[in-house]
Amino acid sequence: MLRFGLLLSLLVIPLQLSPNDAIFPGNIANQYYLNKQRFLLEILHHLQEPLLHEQWIALGQRIVSDKTEYVFYTEQMEQFYQQLSSDRLLPKDVYYNPLQPEHYRETLGLFQFFYNTREWSTLRQNICWARVHANPGLFLHALMQTMLKRDDYRVLIMPKIYELLPAPYHSETVVREAGNFNYINWIRQQAMMGNQSHIQMVLPKKLLPMNLTGDLRTASKWSEAMSEVQILSLSEPKMPQGKLSHLIEDFGWLSYWYYLNMGVALQDNPSQAARIRDWCYWQLSQIVARYKLERYGQQMEYKRLPMQEQENSQLLTWQGQRYQLETRATRAQLTELLRKLELRVEAAISTQSFSLSNGTLIDLQKGHNWLLGLEQLFPYDLSQLQLPSAGQPQQLLELHTMLRQPRFYAYADRLLHAYRSYRSEFQPSYPQSVRPADISIEDILVEPLITFDEPVDVDLSNLLHARNFYYEKHFMWPHSLQSRRLRLQQQPFAITFQLVSNRTQSTILRTYLTTAGGAVNEEPFYQLDSFLTVLYKGNNTIRRESRDFLGSIGDHISFTELYHYVSLAEQEQYDFPLNITLPSCGFPRRLLLPRGGTGAPLAMRLLTIATPYNYKAKQGNELFCDFSKGVSSWDELPHGYPFERFVEQAELQGSHAYWKAVEIAHRDYKLA
């Protein structure tokens, strides 16, 4: 027994320990930390506009060129410096897209000027330089990479991407309205003509939702932190909405994809590549499965995703350019890429061999050769997908907006089909047994599954004109503009498993959500949760709360609140907690379930599969978008097992599996 207990504690503790414990006793930030955090927030404030902060402008005159200030001074840095010296860097007003080869190379150079610095002072100077001189899109990309990848700076909190560059996450109307907002005029109008503006002051001060992770909005210090800030709320004009907009326009859904790709990008760890690839394709299949379940819930075609659908939302880039949907050239390129891939997979299957990029022909049935084929056919890093047509803003090609386009899912579905075909053909049998002996799942009880639309405020402050924040050259943050919108949410629920075991043993339980019926290889299977548990001899009852589901996260405070909490802490009026960072690569928990039915509830099924545990669990840090140690896994089975390939119906039957019919209802929101 000791062994099980010990093992569980080893697995559980690293997930909960804050990485900062050692540096900051008591989990409270000190002045050094607060200094850095304030700097970061000030530098990121109004990122898309010229910097007005005098202190940081002064510091940003020159990039640090002394090579001894860097751990490595790489060739990419040399090149970047040469381009800088000859004034050939990407201009500030050019549309930035890392899918363009030159932009990508420049990003690498700047990233290394950040990442390779020895001292914070060097990094800070380079950040200031880049904020003043570099293209803002490129600057943010390189900085985000640095903050995700440097362990020592990971404690610093970056505001969410949809707060930093709000434009692509909101409709054009909202972006224009916020950009044209003038506080003085607004006050005058309010006095003269009553309150007819779309923008209203929120009194008493309040931001939604109230319950955040860490309770930072209900804490008594909140009013104190926000005492100098006026909260302005922009009500979005009612627009005709697509049937899926509550999912594909959700900023949590969109930004999840952004972070995941940022985490995987520039990853240089060949020993982990196979596991990371596995994980990335699993994430993609989760995204597609979840999307299909939403279509299923809305009674739309979901088995074969139609190629014709386009979402016509009008969106602006942060530079105010309008996004195109998808150009003919892009469509032709992507279709051609997919067609070639499908042909190569078909050829591999029919000849059982594959020609590597260096010309060597390999037999795919021999040894680990199938992995070489997998590696070359299925890259996982978007930087390998460099499209010549990426020079214009297109929703389909940008991480901020990609998931808004129904076509994305149609392309991804084809890609996954090729991936599963390849694996089904060549994947050897698993390195471990998959059917646990002496375990039987007897029943699964599910609390009512209820979804609702919840009002939420999204921080738009970065869209306001920068002059609203400087008073006699002094930076202040006197008002916060928030957009109130509805988003999909669910009531927390629990699943209770009843299992019988013949002996004491550990097992992994994976639970999938799927449609009410159909052929297994045509239906989407979305993994809700997986966990390790100990079973004792006899009956076992195990309860899992939805808030504990693996990889899911709740809500975080906004950019404005963060800044004011930091200010309060600097005045020693507040103990700034260091364990409030939410992992950026967590999936928004509120999107686990598709929107329920309003009349009749939505009929679905859960499938739970038990596999034996063989003490091979690994702990990665992918929740924090850090892939340097690979990814976490319970065992040696592929992620998303058994759906990483096509399955036989019989695999999903037996005492190790359990199907349970469930219903999801959608209710009106009631203010508590």
Ligand X SMILES: *[C@@H]1O[C@H](CO)[C@@H](O)[C@H](O)[C@H]1NC(C)=O
**Which chain residues interact with ligand X by CB under 6 A?**
27, 195, 200-201, 211, 213-214, 356, 358, 360, 372, 438, 440, 489, 491-492, 500, 502, 538-539, 577, 579-580
Q: Least distance in Å: CB of 632 to ligand X?
A: 19
Q: Which is nearer to ligand X, 650 or 672 (CB)?
A: 672
Q: How far is the CB of 356 from ligand X (least distance, A)?
A: 5
Choice between 7 and 201, CB closer to ligand X: 201
In this complex, which beta carbon is closest to ligand X, that of residue 91 or of residue 194?
A: 194
Q: What 8-state DSSP symbol labels residue 48?
A: T
Distance CA 671, CA 664 (A): 21
CB 33, min distance to ligand X, A: 15
> Among all chains, which residue has been given the structure tokens 């949907």?
325
| Cα separation values, 89 from 56, 86, 103, 570, Å | 21, 8, 9, 38
Place of tokens 């390939």: 645
Residue 12, number of CB atoms within 10 A of its CB: 11
CB 574 within 8 A of CB 568: yes
What is the nearest approach in angstroms of ligand X to the Cβ of residue 273? 12
Provide the token pair at 456: 């939420």
Neighbours of 71 (CB within 10 A): 10
Q: Which is nearer to ligand X, 118 or 547 (CB)?
A: 547
Q: How far is it, in rounded angstroms, from Cα 524 to Cα 297?
A: 12
**Closer residue to ligand X (CB): 27 or 352:** 27
In the bound complex, what is the minimum distance in angstroms from residue 580's beta carbon to ligand X?
6
Minimal distance, residue 442 CB to ligand X, in Å? 7
Q: How far is the CA of 108 from the CAs of 258, 267, 632, in angstroms?
A: 18, 12, 27
Q: Closest CB to ligand X among 75 and 438?
A: 438
- Kindly state the smallest distance separating residue 323's Cβ from ligand X, in Å: 32
Q: Which long-range contacts (CB under 8 A, 24 or more apart) does 305-310 make?
A: 305/406, 305/409, 305/410, 305/413, 306/406, 306/410, 307/407, 307/410, 309/406, 309/407, 309/410, 310/405, 310/406, 310/407
Residue 215 backbone zone (phi > 0: left; psi -120 to 50: alpha; other: beta) = left
Nearer to ligand X, 322 or 543 (CB): 543
- Cβ partners under 8 Å of residue 449, min gap 6: 490, 491, 493, 593, 596, 662, 663, 664, 665
State the minimum distance, in angstroms, from the CB of residue 454 to ligand X: 7
**Separation between Cα atoms, residue 103 and residue 579, nearest integer Å:** 35
Shortest Å distance, C-beta 115 to ligand X: 28
> In angstroms, what is the minimal distance from the CB of 190 to ligand X?
7
The whole-angstrom separation of Cα 580 and Cα 27 is 10
For the chain, state the CA radius of gyration.
Answer: 26
Least CB distance to ligand X at residue 218 (A): 9
Closer residue to ligand X, CB minimum distance, 50 or 654: 654
Kindly state the smallest distance separating residue 276's Cβ from ligand X, in Å. Answer: 18
Q: Cα(529)–Cα(187) distance, rounded to whole angstroms?
A: 50
> Of the two residues 491 and 619, which places its CB atom closer to ligand X in the complex?
491
Structure tokens at 99: 């899918």
Which of residues 486 and 500 has its CB atom nearest to ligand X in the complex?
500
Could you tell me the smallest distance in angstroms from the CB atom of residue 201 to ligand X? 5
Q: How far is the CB of 555 from ligand X (least distance, A)?
A: 9
**Smaller CB separation from ligand X, 61 or 211:** 211
Helix (H, G, I), strand (E, B) or coil at 609: strand
The closest alpha carbon to 383, from 102, 115, 116, 626, belongs to 102
- What does residue 245 show for φ and ψ, rounded to 5 degrees? -60, -30
The CB-of-493 to ligand X minimum distance in angstroms stands at 10
Residue with tokens 């005029």: 185
Q: Which is nearer to ligand X, 320 or 379 (CB)?
A: 379
Q: Which is nearer to ligand X, 83 or 213 (CB)?
A: 213
The DSSP code for 330 is H
Q: What are the CA-CA distances from residue 193 to residues 181, 189, 410 (Å)? A: 17, 6, 50
The distance of closest approach from Cβ of residue 372 to ligand X in the complex, given in angstroms and rounded to an integer, is 6
Task: Decide whether 338 or 377 has the Cβ nearer to ligand X.
Answer: 377
Closer to ligand X at the Cβ: 554 or 597? 554
Say how far apart CA 124 and CA 493 lie, in whole Å: 45
Q: Which is nearer to ligand X, 19 or 391 (CB)?
A: 19
With vertex at residue 464, the alpha carbon angle to CA 460 and CA 470, rounded to the nearest 5 degrees, is 125
186 φψ region: left (φ > 0), alpha (ψ -120 to 50), beta (else): alpha
DSSP one-letter string for 175-230: HHHHHT--HHHHHHHHHHH-S-SSEEE-SS---S-S--TT-TTTSTHHHHHTTT-E
Residue 232 to residues 49, 197, 480: CA-CA distances in angstroms? 21, 11, 6
Place of tokens 């089904």: 424
Residues contacting residue 85 through CB under 8 Å, at least 6 positions apart: none
